[in-house]
Amino acid sequence: MAHSKSHSHGHEEIGHVVPESTFLKVLVALLALTVITVLAAQVDLGKWNIVGALLIASVKASLVIAIFMHGKYENKIIWTYIVIPFILLAIMIGGIFTDDPFRVHPVPFGAQAQQAPAAAAPGAAAHH
Partner 1 sequence: MSAVAHPIVDHNVPAGEPPHIHHMDTVTAYGAAKLGMWLFLATEILLFAVMFCSFAIMRYYHLAEFHDASKHLNIWAGGFNTIVLLISSFTAAVAVTKAQKGDNAGVVKNFGISLVCGLIFLAVKGYEYSEKAHHGMFPFVWNSDFYHYKNFLGLYFCMSGLHALHVIIGMAILYWYGIRPAMRSRFSGKYYTPVELGALYWHLVDLIWIYLFPLLYLVG
Task: Report the alpha-carbon distance of residue 84 to residue 96 in Å, rounded.
Answer: 18
Residue among 108, 31, 12, 26 nearest 70 (CA): 26
Q: Which helix (H) or strand (E) holds 26?
A: helix 20-42
Taking the least distance from each CB to partner 1, the nearer of 89 and 125 is 89
Quick note: the x/- pattern for partner 1 over 53-92, rule CB under 8 A, is xx-xx--xx--xx-xxxx---x--xx--xx-xxx-xx--x
- Residue 73 CA to its chain's centroid (Å): 20
Q: Does 15 bind partner 1 (CB under 8 A)?
A: yes
Task: Please tell me the count of residues contacting partner 1 according to CB under 8 A.
Answer: 58
Q: At what angle do helices 48-63 and 20-42 cross, to 10 degrees?
A: 170
- Residues of this chain that bind partner 1 (CB under 8 A): 2, 9, 12-15, 17-20, 23-24, 26-27, 30-31, 34, 37-38, 41, 49-50, 53-54, 56-57, 60-61, 64-65, 67-70, 74, 77-78, 81-82, 84-86, 88-89, 92-93, 96-97, 100-101, 109-112, 114-117
